[in-house]
Amino acid sequence: MTIDSSSLLCSKFNNHEKNIRSLKLNGHVGFDTLPDQIVAKNVSDGFTFNVLCLGETGIGKSTLIDTLFNTKFDWESSSHFEPKVRLNKTTYDLQESNVRLKLSIVESVGFGDQIDKEETYKILSDYLDNQFEAYLQEELKIKRNFAILNDTRIHACLYFISPTGHTIKSLDLITMKKIDQKVNIIPIIAKADTIAKNELLKFKQRIMQDLIANQVKIYQFPIDDETVVELNASMNSHLPFAVVGSSDLIKVGNKQVRARQYPWGVVIVDNESHSDFVKLREMFLRTNMYDLIEKTHLKHYELYRRNRLVEMGFADCSSVNGKVLSISETYEAKHTELKAEIQKKEDEIKEAFVAKVKAKEAELKEAEKELHEKFVMLKKQHAEQKERVEEKKRILDEEMKEFQRRKFSLEQSRIHSLGTLKSAKKK
């Protein structure tokens, strides 16, 4: 039985991990402060968080983001007459206590307003891929500098669903399906105060049934951490969150609260019996924000990176003729292969070009031959016509001479007659 050397190398790495021994320390060493060191370093560097807000124009994306971060962001006004979907990105520096956050918000403009919506999915998918590609290109450099790299990978997508009360729209289903492998999707029912509570519960159930039936993978709050397993498991059952956003302060009793005022009453944003806003804020910002960032890197970006490296010809433990190749050797082998392929395509293009040139030359020669034959025929016709014209001219000249001769004879006869008549009169 023969064993491939690449398989043997991989198995050695796996066995090495199994052979690690556990030892007991006899006293305090000090590396238990490592978590504190990591926290201090991260707090010093600050954090980056990128959010994509997808939803129809006027559905309340800007208002909800203002409410979530308890501030007023600068938003670009939009209309329902955009020729195609645009993504408007704005970046802000926020600070809470001693923690700095670089927040980038990418908001869709004109989403769902076009008659032909097929380009919508491509624009969103291409944008997410472009952010992954920028990070990957920095990783592939010989001299990398992640310290100055502006990480623009989207960590979370707040997907705003219209509060129709019936079912999720086809556009929403298709869009989420196109991007669920590229970003953490958190579905939200916007303006939930426009639906009755009993209808809202049924609407949530129908949305989840549609997502499951169409195999759309939304973000699930992690349940592998014992400290938040009960909370996250409970919150997963509340998806999609039905939220109400408002930055307006209204006095209710003796307190100023963020709420929406209606003729029939007040909807308080932070009241959990009125909406799921508190649940969304807790899960999105306070409990699972780091998991969203980590999952973007370890799951979505890793999937993109793996697929791109496979496209480039790289593989784990790759080998040629039983010889294990290093990354540089794999690159050289792939480079040689691509060079040969390019040369082959270049030769094919040259052959096709030569064939086209020969075909064109033959076509031009045939056209030239036809033109020459036509020229000879026209020249012959011209000579014949010229000869006929010359003959007609000769005949006309003879007729003119004959006419002049007869005219002269008549004049002489007339003169002679007049002379004879005058002589007769004199006599």
- Residues 256-290 have pLDDT tens digits of 888 888 888 888 888 888 889 999 999 999 999 99
* Shared domain check, 219 and 174: yes
Asked if 196 and 292 sit in the same domain, the reply is yes
Question: What's the rounded mean pLDDT across residues 86-110?
Answer: 92
Tokens of 244: 């109400």
Residue at 140 is within a domain: yes
Rg (CA), the chain: 44
pLDDT (tens digit, 9 = 90+) per residue, 399-427? 999 999 888 888 888 888 888 887 777 76
Mean pLDDT for the stretch of residues 300-328: 75
> What is the C-alpha separation between 239 and 212, in angstroms, rounded?
12
Residue 23 lies in a domain: no
Rounded to the nearest 5°, which phi and psi values hold at 29? Answer: -105, -50
- Residue 317 in any domain: the answer is no
Domain final position from 290, 312, 334: 312
| Whole-number Å distance between alpha carbons of 82 and 111 | 9
Let me know how many helices (H) and strands (E) the chain has, helices first: 11, 11
267: in domain: no
Q: Is residue 424 part of a domain?
A: no
Q: What is the spatial distance between Cα 73 and Cα 66, in angstroms, rounded to a whole number?
A: 6
Distance CA(273)–CA(275), nearest Å, equals 6
Q: 219 and 287 in one domain?
A: yes
What domain range includes position 348? 323-408
My answer on whether 380 and 345 are in the same domain is yes
pLDDT tens per residue across span 218-248: 999 999 888 888 999 999 998 999 999 888 8
Residue (of 64, 35, 41, 68) closest to 289 by Cα position: 68
Record the tokens describing residue 424, joined without a space. 């007769």
**Of residues 252 and 128, which shows the higher confidence score?**
128
Amino acid at residue number 68 = L
Is residue 49 within a helix (H) or strand (E), and if so which, with residue range?
strand 47-54
Per-residue pLDDT band for 115 (boundaries 50, 70, 90) equals confident
161 and 290 share one domain: yes
**Domain assignment of residue 19, yes or no:** no
Q: Are 52 and 184 in a shared domain?
A: yes
CATH number at residue 97: 3.40.50.300
Residue type, 51: V
* More confidently predicted of 148 and 103: 103
pLDDT at 77 over 80: no
Quick check: helix, strand or coil at residue 219? coil
CA distance 153 to 255: 40
- Asked whether residue 3 carries a pLDDT value surpassing 50, the answer given is no
95 DSSP β-pair partners? 100
pLDDT for residue 320: 55
Q: Are residues 96 and 209 in the same domain?
A: yes
Q: What is the bridge-based pairing of β-strands 319-320 and 265-268? A: unpaired
Averaged confidence pLDDT in the chain: 86
17-21, 125-129, 286-290: which has the minimum mean pLDDT? 17-21
E-only strand ranges, 138-207: 156-161, 185-189
Q: Note the pLDDT of residue 16.
A: 53
Q: Where are the alpha helices (DSSP H) in 249-326?
A: 277-281, 289-295, 302-312
The pLDDT assigned to 316 comes to 64
Calpha distance 239→280 (Å, rounded)? 9
Tell me what pLDDT residue 327 has. Answer: 63
With a cut of 90, say whether residue 9 has pLDDT above it: no
Of residues 3 and 295, which shows the higher confidence score? 295
Instruction: Provide the number of structural domains found in the chain.
Output: 2
pLDDT band at 249 (very low <50, low <70, confident <90, very high): confident
- H helical segments located in 283-326: 289-295, 302-312
Residues 238 and 384 placed together within one structural domain of the fold: no
Same domain, 292 and 357: no
Q: Provide the pLDDT for residue 6.
A: 43
Do 156 and 225 sit in the same domain of this protein?
yes
CB 92 within 8 A of CB 75: no
Measured CA to CA, the distance from residue 354 to residue 70 in angstroms comes to 69
pLDDT at 212 over 50: yes
Q: CA-CA distance, 190 to 172, in Å (whole number)?
A: 13
Residue-wise pLDDT tens digits, 352-372: 999 999 999 999 999 999 999
In a domain, 34, yes or no: no
pLDDT at 4: 44
Q: Which residues pair with 129 in a beta bridge?
A: none
Contact between 200 and 192 (Cβ < 8 Å): yes
Q: Are residues 344 and 302 in the same domain?
A: no
What is the reported pLDDT for 1?
Answer: 38
Contact indicator for 55, 160 with CB cutoff of 8 Å: yes
Is the pLDDT reported for residue 151 higher than 80? yes
- Same domain (yes/no): 298, 362: no
The CA distance from 123 to 119, in Å, is 6
